[in-house]
Amino acid sequence: MPEQHHEATPSPLVGVSYVMPVLNDASHVRQAVESILAQDYEGPVEVLIALGPSIDGTSELVADLAERDPRVRVLDNEVGSTPAGLNLGIRAAVHPVVVRVDSHSMLPTDYTRIAVDVLERTGADNVGGIMDAQGETPFQQAVALAYTTKVGLGGSSFHVGGQAGPVDTVYLGVFRREALLRVGLFDERIKRGQDWELNRRLRADGGVVWFTPELAVTYRPRATLERLARQMFSTGLWRGELARSFPGTSGIRYFVPPVMVVGVLVGFVLGLIGLVQVAIGATPWLLLGFIVPVVYLLFVILATLVYARGHGLRTALWFLVVLPCIHVSWGAGFVPGYLALTSNIAQHTGR
């Protein structure tokens, strides 16, 4: 085990500040806040909702939540981005432990109690667990299945589980506020993947990022194919930016989707040229290009048979669509991100 940055200092009543960035998410935020207020943790707590400019009723909803419970405070996040909201909440927090919460997540009742215990027992700067994706519709169930399989999002421990111990990054996170302030909070220039980049700085400063499978946070996937594609493109875009900015720190698995996208596209174009060769009577050797997309199609079908079996016909059929949507959208985003086009795309798409 790496050298720990802090000595373990048991303090069962340490205060906890929950920080939740929210933007146009009226359908999920109430459940997320209720899961916080239902925690069995006995120490003092506060809930800080960093509210971005919303037009779907989210503003009224969180105002009602704050009126009903004095532990809930609403902060005006004029920038609207996730890292800006997180930093706003961290600066306003009054307690030494900061729990990051996503508006799409629902904490189990023992989440904070276990997380604080692990934080103190290990001396880590950040503790996190599993992103337990669960869907309510066949589409969401297919997305959740893709999230929790190695063929979907690459098999990170916070997606598929693993042994407790130091890791590069974790889902959400329960932090020592002093550690966040020490490394300069989240980088607000990074709209996605800012947790990975922050954890990189924590580790570079001598801190420990600790994964424990005891923590499992229920996560609701995007509800439509379009929203999933936008989410994955944005995630891939910023992952490409991070891979370019910090060479040598990204595993080979991050490069698999973009290589696949380029390979399938090039193979398909070559195959079309091969059809032209057939039409003009030339040797159609470029038809071999179709091998690449066909192999990928067979991979998707095989993955569906292996992972979606027993989850119902509708979920399995959606899995056939969801898996390539994740791969293609993520990979298509990674390429311009890696080529330093992130800021231009984000400016024109709002990502």
Residue 247 lies in a domain: no
Give the E-state strand segments of the chain in sequence order.
Answer: 16-22, 45-51, 72-76, 97-100, 105-106, 126-133, 165-166, 171-176, 209-219
Instruction: Report pLDDT digits (tens) over 179-217.
Output: 999 999 999 988 878 888 999 999 999 999 999 989 988
Q: Which of 221, 241, 274 is the last residue of a domain?
A: 221
Instruction: Report pLDDT digits (tens) over 241-260.
Output: 888 888 766 667 778 888 89
The residue type found at 346 is: A
Does the pTM of the predicted model rise above 0.85? Answer: no
Give, rounded to a whole angstrom, the gap between the first and last alpha carbons of the chain: 38
Number of domains in the chain: 2
Range of the domain at 343: 252-349
Residues 76 and 183 in one domain: yes
Averaged pLDDT score across all residues of the chain: 87
Residues 190 and 270 in one domain: no
pLDDT at 158: 60
Q: Which of 204, 221, 238 is the last residue of a domain?
A: 221
Q: Which of 173, 201, 221 is the last residue of a domain?
A: 221
